[in-house]
Structures are given as C-alpha cells and as structure tokens.
C-alpha cells in the first residue's frame, strides 16, 4: 500500500509557514513503514531537532481506480479517520532551500500515526468535518474540512491521474494551522468530530 499526502491545502497553515497558495495540489508520498497504528509510541528521530505534528483528515481507499472523475471520487473511499503527518521541519526547510524533495523530512519511520477508520456514511458531508489535535491536553490545532483549498474529490481526481489508487491506500488531506514542535514525553491526542481517535506518546 502507499500513503499519498497533500501539502498546503489550508490557507491558515500556508500563511503560518510563509508558503505560496498552490494552483494545483502539492503531493508527496510516505512508504508503508511510516505507519504507526493502535496508538503506538512515536520515537523521536535523532536526525531532527524540530519535529512538528500536522493533524489531517485521512481517507482509506476501498477499490482500485485511475483517472477517477470528481463526481465519482467519493465512491472510492471506504473509511475516514485522522492521521498525524509528522514533519522534521528543520530537515524540510533545508531541503526546500536546496530545491530538493521532502521525503527525508516527511516519510521517515513512524512519520504517519493513524487512527482506526470510520465508515464514510457516518458523516453527512465529508467537506464539513471538525477535527483537532491536542498536545499534553492543550488544543494546538483545530480545523474543518470545509476550509480545504482542494476538496477530497478533487484530490482523488488529481492524484489518480498519476498513481493508480489501490484498495488500502491512504490519503492525507492536509493540515490546518497550529502545527507546533513536539518533544520526548509529550502526549498527542486527536479528535474527529466529538470522538477521540488518537492518543499516543512521544518517546
Ligand atoms: Mg501535512
């Protein structure tokens, strides 16, 4: 399976990092070795001094497809959850300065803690879902999917032009503002609508 991620999909987060608003989705991948499930501990990597959390709505792909049109795109989702796009911001800034790809900063072991998935039909509108992230009990990020620049169906249409989507693939859909640095000992929690779906520690 693969993990497809979109960067710069919320205006407030683009602003906090000083990036330009994209004219088409910004895409990167994480390998399956990035996944942490069942609230496993995240181990702080020794190549970074600035790991930041990015809470994101995630979609699990339920069937294979390519060149999917936006009007049918939501039929390809079989589950919704939350993930944390763990980012080595210091490494990423260096790569960005050099014009290099982001994978070392974004796709390392354990860089994708994910929740369990709920069925899509549990939500009335995929573009109106509240979610948030707390660090040590303090709310750091709060978002609603209606604030996305590229809605989920457009992301699926866009990425499926390049990558065949397969059952079990996971899509990270971008983070709202409030990303902050984590440190060893921190507790990260994330809430989807009113349900806590992630709760793990930094080791
Ligand atoms: Mg992200």
From ligand 1's centre to the CA of 93, what distance in Å?
14
CATH code for residues 3-201: 3.90.850.10
pTM of the model: 0.96
Which 3 state secondary structure label does DSSP give 85?
coil
Q: What per-residue confidence (pLDDT) applies to 176?
A: 96
Which 3 state secondary structure label does DSSP give 144?
strand
From ligand 1's centre to the CA of 169, what distance in Å?
16
From ligand 1's centre to the CA of 66, what distance in Å?
23
* Burial (CB count within 10 angstroms: exposed 0-12, middle 13-18, buried 19+), residue 99: exposed
Q: Which residues pair with 58 in a beta bridge?
A: 81, 172
From ligand 1's centre to the CA of 158, what distance in Å?
17
From ligand 1's centre to the CA of 67, what distance in Å?
24
Give the model's confidence band at 37: pLDDT under 50 very low, under 70 low, under 90 confident, else very high. Answer: very high
From ligand 1's centre to the CA of 6, what distance in Å?
6
pLDDT in tens, 86-137: 999 999 999 999 999 999 999 999 999 999 999 999 999 999 999 999 999 9
User: What are phi and psi for residue 145, nearest 5 degrees?
Assistant: -65, -10
Q: Where are the domains of the chain?
A: 3-201
């Amino acid at each position: 399976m693969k993990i497809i991620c979109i960067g710069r999909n919320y205006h407030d987060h683009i602003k906090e990092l000083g990036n330009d608003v994209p004219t088409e989705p910004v895409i990167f991948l994480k390998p399956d070795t990035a996944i942490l499930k069942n609230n496993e501990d995240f181990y702080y990597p020794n190549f970074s001094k600035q790991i930041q959390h990015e809470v994101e709505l995630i979609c699990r792909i339920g069937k294979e497809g390519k060149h999917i049109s936006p009007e049918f795109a939501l039929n390809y989702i079989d589950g919704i959850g939350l993930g944390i796009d763990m980012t080595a911001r210091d490494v990423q800034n260096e790569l960005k300065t050099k014009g290099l790809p982001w994978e070392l900063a974004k796709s390392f072991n354990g860089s994708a803690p994910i929740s369990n998935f709920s069925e899509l039909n549990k939500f009335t509108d995929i573009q109106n879902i509240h979610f948030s992230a707390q660090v040590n009990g303090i709310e750091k990020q709060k978002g609603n999917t209606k604030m996305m620049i590229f809605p989920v169906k457009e992301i699926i249409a866009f990425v499926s032009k390049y990558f065949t989507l397969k059952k079990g693939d996971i899509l990270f859909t971008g983070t709202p503002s409030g990303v902050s640095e984590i440190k060893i000992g921190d507790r990260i929690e994330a809430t989807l609508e009113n349900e806590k779906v992630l709760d793990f520690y930094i080791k």
